[in-house]
Chain A
Amino acid sequence: MVRLQQCALALGLLITTAIGHAVEDADYYRILTYSLPENVIMEASGLAVLPDGRLAVAIRRGEVWMLDHPEATPATTENVGFKKFASGMHEVLGLAWHEGALYATQRAEITRLRDLDGDGVADEYATVSTGWGVSGNYHEYAYGPAIDKAGNFYTSLNASLGKGWEGAGDEAKLPLWRGWCMRTVPGSSPEPWAAGFRSPCGIGTDLDGEVFVTDQQGNWFGTNPLLHVRKGAFFGHGDAVRDMSQPNSPIKSPGKLPEGITTAEAIQKVPGYCPPAVWFPYVKMGQSPTGFRCDGTGGKFGPFARQMFVGEFVLSGVNRVFLEKVGGELQGACFPFIKGLQCASLSIHFLGDGSMVIGQSNRGWNSAGNRPFGLQRIVWTGKTPLEVAKMEAKTDGFNFTFTLPIDPASVSREAFSGTSYTYTYQSKYGSPEMDPQDLKITSAELSEDRTQIHVKVANLRPGYVHEFKLPELKGQDGQPLWHRDAYYTLNRIPTE
């Protein structure tokens, strides 16, 4: 009898998969691809939207392109209008518009670009922040700027992976602040702000101006994290520890870092260690998070207002993040959103019409999308997907809020399943999921208005990722749940 049930379960899963595929992303979000001017290698590493609606695109070849009508359809070069605005910079990996000017981050500085004579081409390249170490090591990428509410600039600096170039002088041996995030108050030198990054390829703010960074799985990072940057935060990568002895370091050195403990244990044991607000479980949620942007479109992009959309390089897609404050710290969940883009996502922005632009390039790494670079736009069709809108931690489990009411017939405790796990904290590369445990789900109750399900879990574990495979839920009219995967990083369990 038990066997039979297992069979039935397995069958159920198969059928579910088949139905899952029947939900087409295109029903909810359409992907539009920009035609590009010939011979322009649009490796779009940074995006900025100007108040007049134009889109500025920074490319890895050190140029900035201006798109007059980024919302034009079809997105032909004629309709969109491409014009080179700036050039000759050193691998720009980020772009922002702030108080009437564009700011681009090059290898060695943040540069303000202005067009003083009004001919549509930048003629002033002013250095607004410089001074971090640049040894000539190829991996010393600099990303940003993110700009907070007060107008301060943030730059995330890749750890040096390997040797420098002796032609770099003193910096060849001691490139300062690699693996750090720098804050620049306009008019001053950059100050070290937070530390312990590996390859912090996405940097930006949420709608409240809080600064976040996405980083890459590798040494010290068992999988890919979303990190909430604050002064003095240490996110765990060992290379940043050296510069904590500098007099202006805001962080006291934790001393020799332990190896082989779990990240859940590191929260307890490593002095000053600040866990990620969200872990993106490796492969399941992609292999390389990049640029991100919060949805400030006021609903024009669908039912996920204010949430964070994070680019995914290898899977060539976009993931979604919900954050909440628990015990004074931000933590939350990640969900799949869109896959199947033409190329690796690198930068994200929202246009005035509420659509999302994705800047793309896969140079130097691998991606499922097989185009080497490009620009695509994701447009909400106006049809609301049945999807988890919010996943909130509770004292006794999780509360899922859905975008649409749920058919009660599709809800049952037995149909919920999940596991929790953590990662190894180590100087070696990556980590398997450690100490996994099936979630003991004791109840799943649909709210009276049918938009929320409260799932009680008997074995919540702080510091662990709690992964859910949601049941094959249905909307009132039979509409299936769009994505059934949800991953909550439970650094803290709410106490009330």
Chain B
Amino acid sequence: MTNADMASTVIPTPVPRWHSASAIRYWALAAAAVFLSADPLHSHPLQAEPVDHAHVFNFDQFYIPEDPDELVADGGLLLIAELNCAACHTMPDAWKDRLPTKPGPDLAAAGNRLNEDSLWRFIRSPQSRKKGTQMPGLFAGEEGDVEAVEAITQYLASLKKDQAALPEGDAMRGRETYHTVGCVACHEPASDYRPAKVAADALLEKPGLSSVPIALADDYDFQSLAHFLLDPLSCRPAGRMPSMRLTEQEASDIAAYLHTGRLPPKMDERALLQIPPQTVAQGREAFISRRCTACHTTGEEMPKQAAKPFAALKADAATGCLSGKIQSGIPRYDFKELQIRALRLAMQRVQMDAPAPFTAQQTVDWQMMRLNCYACHDRDSKGGPEEPRAQYFHVNDPGAESLGELAHLPPSLDRIGRKLTREWLERILWGKDGSVRPYIDTRMPNFGQAQTESLIAPLESADALAKPVEINVSGLEKHHRAESGRQLMGATGLACVACHGLKDRKSLGPPVLRLTHTVERLRPAFFKELLLNPQETQPGTVMPPLFMGRKKADQEIESIWTYLRELDGQPLPEGLLSATDFELKPDEAQRPIVFRSFIEGVGTHAIGVGFPGGLNAAFDAKTSRWVIVWKGRFLDAMSNWQERAMPPIKPLGTDVKEMPAAQGQRTFGGYRLNRDGVPTFWYQQDGKRVDDTLRPTPDGKGFEHLINIDGQETKEILSW
């Protein structure tokens, strides 16, 4: 298949749909040039201007050379943690909790992901193959290195797993997903992709902060890349690449996108070197002896070779990882100057003192730094997406545009530890759903339980109020009634529904988050704190101070809580209730509906009968007669089924006609349904039994009125 062939099959389609990742490998460059009218070499995230040092996002974000030593030392601790120094260098006991090891990538399926040449190149010189990687180079080119790299390559290439086939990807769709679900909070956006809200003539601002490199993705096998995107935590348990909760299709689409513009492999150094063949067993041995096992797992128990304890390291050693001359076996990170300074300062600190104990907030901050929560969220005036990245945070509901940043950007995490319940925090952090903002495209990623469990308790204590807000949610007080809360929330109450949707219904106005899961999500005390004083509790919120000056605010808030707690069996508040929610309509069986209620024009003993063809009548069981007939819609059961006051209901249809008054003294007996569900009413009139039936005429235009007195039947046609 030639490029021209492919192009001709694609051209007629307005939006090119590139079906197979492998198919686009060699021709996409041409196709992309045609359709994107930009050079993919420059537009693609993979071709982002690479950083030239082991990249730790939050170090680059928060530390600059002008910072004082004290601060830079903090950054050094972050580097020590993120670069996993503790994996080889045992930390002094006092620092073991502060600087624990970080699980490195699991290589049990490394052979699926990269071919031998790619593995070889990456192991041989990580920083040249994947600029910015945290994987250190261990092979300076000394005697035996070439063979060791080859052997490890053989070993890793042998590590394969069966994996289920994921669907073919669509690169254009992948490009859209990549730029909208939140990947660009950490990774580079493509320069040719314009976020929807950037004006066509505006200059697209480039991120100022360096991006986490993804330069190896184009070497990945397509299926493996898609699997990695679908579930990154399974091979990178550290959660630094969190799961974006992609569907299989989305994962394939992004994989296809990242494969756009793949180039044929260059002539390979590996082939040129004519390395003597190495066995898998030799590779496995080298994998252990070269300390790969310090960071990596392969699914097999392997010994770890410890290096010097951290306390014995010398910051100014002539041959160490911080020196200019790095020998084989010493990890080479290509540190930049500030990193070296930071690491030296941090080493000093670790070697001299025990760490100062963290406050709860410092614990939170530390873990948020490590996981890069700050890429999307701010807390304590720190973090949040930089402007050029913020423009990629989309809403999918135009109604949310008016809310500005509040709708677009992930929420501030101030007070989050007293806001969200533990269960909800777990859901959010561990990828068990938990989103309440359907209008926002960006997804809260799943960082995995292992990395985030330690965040929850410090969040709770950091954010706790010295004097907690008191709220009674026992359900025992008289005002703890769902119905009271429902009315308060309704359009003629406090009109919460003007902004908040519930269950499957959108709000009447802007689509602020839905309140469906409020009681599982919010701590009751925070709910009250927020309602009593929204601006204080959530600065910048558009929530109005509805309860200010309301004498019964405490009780009203508790009523609303009760309603939200019982929501799943409750009707929606006024405003969200649809006029047809309780309307009685014939079911599939198309049988008449019999319905007793207080019906206007009939009385308190009324029995409505609605026929499927749109003819209706009401019988009064007190006077034993048909009182009204009407056409069209039947009755609304809302009053009977929901409203405490149970007001009389009106016929919903048209052409209401009164029936003539009854003759004689009648005593009601009841009704029977025939096989088709048509009721026949019976009563005693002057000592005789009367059976009385209304049923639609065969043409459906009126009623037949059948009256049977002691076996004598009369029939009249009613049309009106």
Contact = CB atoms under 8 A, between A and B. Distances in A.
B565 interface: yes
A363 B483 contact: yes
B475 A366 contact: yes
B476 A368 contact: yes
A298 to B, nearest CB: 35
Given A169-B603, A366-B562, A371 B597 contact: no
B640 A167 contact: no
B672 interface: yes
A372 B481 CA distance: 11
B595 A88 contact: yes
Interface stretch (A107-115, A201-209, A242-250): A107-115
Contact of A366 (B478, B640, B669): B478
A368 B474 contact: yes
A381 interface: no
Contacts of B598: 136, 165, 167-168
Interface in B497-523: none
Nearest to A112: B670
A449 B674 CA distance: 65
A127 B672 contact: no
B541 interface: no
B569 A371 contact: yes
Contacts of A136: 598, 604, 646, 648
Interface in A371-426: 371-373
Given A90-B597, A124-B670, A171 B604 contact: yes
Nearest to A36: B569
Interface string B645-666: 1111000000000000000000
B51 interface: no
A61 interface: yes
Contacts of B604: 107-108, 134-136, 165, 167-168, 171
A287 B672 CA distance: 41
A130 B605 CA distance: 10
Interface string B606-648: 0100000000000001100000000000000100111111111
Interface residues on A, range: 35 or more
A138 B481 contact: no
A494 interface: no
A109 B670 CA distance: 10
Contacts of B669: 126-127
Interface string B461-493: 000000000000011111111110000000000
B621 A367 contact: no
A41 interface: yes
Interface in B585-603: 593-598, 600-601, 603
Most chain A C-beta atoms within 10 Å of own C-beta, residue among B570, B648, B670: B670
Q: DSSP majority for the A interface?
A: loop
Given A109-B621, A130-B668, A373 B569 contact: yes
Nearest to A366: B480
Nearest to B477: A366
B672 A364 contact: no
B675 interface: yes
A165 B594 contact: no
Interface residues of B, number: 48
Interface string A122-137: 1111110010001110
B594 A88 contact: yes
A109 B675 CA distance: 25
B607 to A, nearest CB: 8
B479 A366 contact: yes
Contacts of A437: none
Interface string B99-138: 0000000000000000000000000000000000000000
A251 to B, nearest CB: 26
Interface in A69-118: 87-91, 106-109, 111-112, 116-117
Given A127-B668, A364-B481, A41 B641 contact: yes
A41 B569 contact: yes
Contacts of B686: none
B565 A370 contact: yes
A315 interface: yes
B397 interface: no
A373 B670 CA distance: 30
B481 A116 contact: no
A130 B621 contact: yes
B481 A62 contact: no
B635 to A, nearest CB: 11
- Most-contacted residue by chain B among A108, A171, A287 (CB, 10 A): A108
Contacts of A90: 596-597, 640
A107 B622 CA distance: 13
B645 A124 contact: no
Contact of B481 (A88, A109, A365): A365
Contacts of B562: 366, 370
A193 B609 CA distance: 34
B673 interface: yes
Interface in B26-84: none
Contacts of B641: 41, 60-61
A117 B476 contact: no
B439 interface: no
A135 B668 CA distance: 19
A134 B605 contact: yes
A117 B648 CA distance: 34
3 closest Cβ pairs, A-B complex: A372-B569, A126-B670, A90-B596
Given A124-B672, A138-B643, A372-B570, 17 more contacts: A41-B569, A61-B637, A88-B596, A109-B621, A124-B670, A124-B671, A126-B669, A127-B669, A134-B604, A134-B605, A136-B604, A138-B644, A167-B600, A169-B603, A362-B566, A366-B481, A372-B566
18 contacts: A62-B595, A88-B595, A90-B597, A90-B640, A123-B673, A123-B674, A124-B672, A125-B594, A138-B644, A138-B646, A167-B648, A168-B604, A169-B603, A316-B475, A365-B481, A366-B475, A371-B566, A372-B566
